[in-house]
Amino acid sequence: MYLSVVTTMYYSAPYIQEFYTRISKSAKEITDDYEIIIVNDGSPDESLDIAVRIWYSDSKVKVIDLSRNFGHHRAMMIGLRYAKGEKIFLIDCDLEEEPELLNLFHSVYEANISCDVVYGVQEKRKGIWFKRLSGEIYYWALKNITGIDFPKNVLTARLMSRRYVKSLTKHQEREIDMAGLCYITGYTQIPVPVMKYSKGSTTYSIQKRIRMFINGIVSFTDRPLIGIFYTGLLICIISGAIGCHLLIRKIFLGVGLEGWTSLMASIWFLGGLVILFIGIIGIYVSKIFIETKQRPYAVIRSIYQREGQAV
């Protein structure tokens, strides 16, 4: 098979039919040998019903229904694992990224012999000033804490080679940061600036974004743990030096330490620092706890496919 298109659904009922129509047209302009894989990530609306009707009408469509909502990134990894094409196009179906990007990415891919990935980046980050500013802070912090120069404003839409996807799906993390995994997998990756449109509301709340940020850090670096060691070492050196200074003053000058305010401030500061560091260590321990259980990415309830289609 030449081309696989992979997308996920979550509250996607208003978009899935138009997405299917547009992506089918774009795929046919490239090849007749293609498939469309739609992963239902436990969407509570009628997304699955619409996707199943599309499957009934088109033998090139395959629908994977997950048993519940496992998360956007896990659903994408499931879809990639079932893709059979020599080239795999991953995209969200909410029409924020145009399905016609397939044709643009394919032309860039074909023009670069050594290329394995063509991915989209936003020409200009959408949203209000707070969202744009928080995005800049996110990428700046991620780069400086992890030491990895992750590309900024990356979109889901990307066209990938078979060998790249095979390498990408070898990652075994249960807590998945898709953008980070796509980057560290390597190979030759070419960014293409594109426009991202807004559909209004988003399923990514502030809490989810904060969790993604924390997961992005602890998944790709141990620097916070090393930072705790050096901070503790620095505090020991400073406190030791202050203790020696006070002891010398007491022995040779007869000057005692006065004032409880500074003492209490120091205790509160060090207590807060200890709690913060225990929290950071706790996050890493939590990651270990999750990974050691070796649970699957997701549980598949059913797969809608034509008889004879490869699973």
For 8-36, the pLDDT digits (tens) are 998 888 889 999 999 999 999 898 899 99
What per-residue confidence (pLDDT) applies to 202?
A: 55
CA distance 68 to 298: 8
pLDDT > 80? residue 169: yes
What per-residue confidence (pLDDT) applies to 174?
A: 67
Q: Could you read off the pLDDT of 103-114 as tens digits, one per residue?
A: 999 988 888 888
Class of domain 3-204+299-304: alpha beta
CA distance 89 to 165: 10
Q: Which of 58-72, 94-108, 133-147, 177-191 has the lowest mean pLDDT?
A: 133-147
What per-residue confidence (pLDDT) applies to 133?
A: 66
pLDDT > 70? residue 137: no
Residue ranges covered by each domain of the chain: 3-204+299-304, 223-292
What per-residue confidence (pLDDT) applies to 88?
A: 93
Percent of the chain with pLDDT over 90: 12
Query: How is the chain classified by DSSP, letter by letter?
Result: --EEEEEEESS-TTTHHHHHHHHHHHHHTT-SSEEEEEEE---SSTHHHHHHHHHHH-TTEEEEEESS---HHHHHHHHHHH---SEEEE--SSSSS-TTHHHHHHHHHHH-TT--EEEEEESS--S-HHHHHHHHHHHHHHHHHH---PPSSEEEEEEEEHHHHHHHTT---SS--HHHHHHHT-S-EEEEEE-----S--S--HHHHHHHHHHHHHTT--HHHHHHHHHHHHHHHHHHHHHHHHHHIIIII-PPP--HHHHHHHHHHHHHHHHHHHHHHHHHHHHHHHHHTT--S--EEEEE--TT---
What does the buried/exposed string (b/e) look like for 99-122 if buried means 16 or more CB atoms within 10 Å of the residue's CB? bebbbbbbeebeeeeebbbbbbbb
Between 74 and 208, whose confidence is greater?
A: 74
Average pLDDT, whole number, for the chain? 78
CA distance 150 to 121: 12
Q: Could you read off the pLDDT of 109-129 as tens digits, one per residue?
A: 888 888 889 988 887 666 555
The structure tokens listed for 251 are 């022995």
pLDDT > 80? residue 89: yes
Q: Could you read off the pLDDT of 199-255 as tens digits, one per residue?
A: 655 555 566 666 666 666 666 666 777 777 677 777 767 766 766 776 777 677 666
Q: What is the mean pLDDT of residues 180-186?
A: 79
Highest mean pLDDT among 136-140, 154-158, 284-288 belongs to 154-158
pLDDT band, residue 6 (cuts 50/70/90) = very high
The structure tokens listed for 264 are 């209490």
CA distance 252 to 29: 89
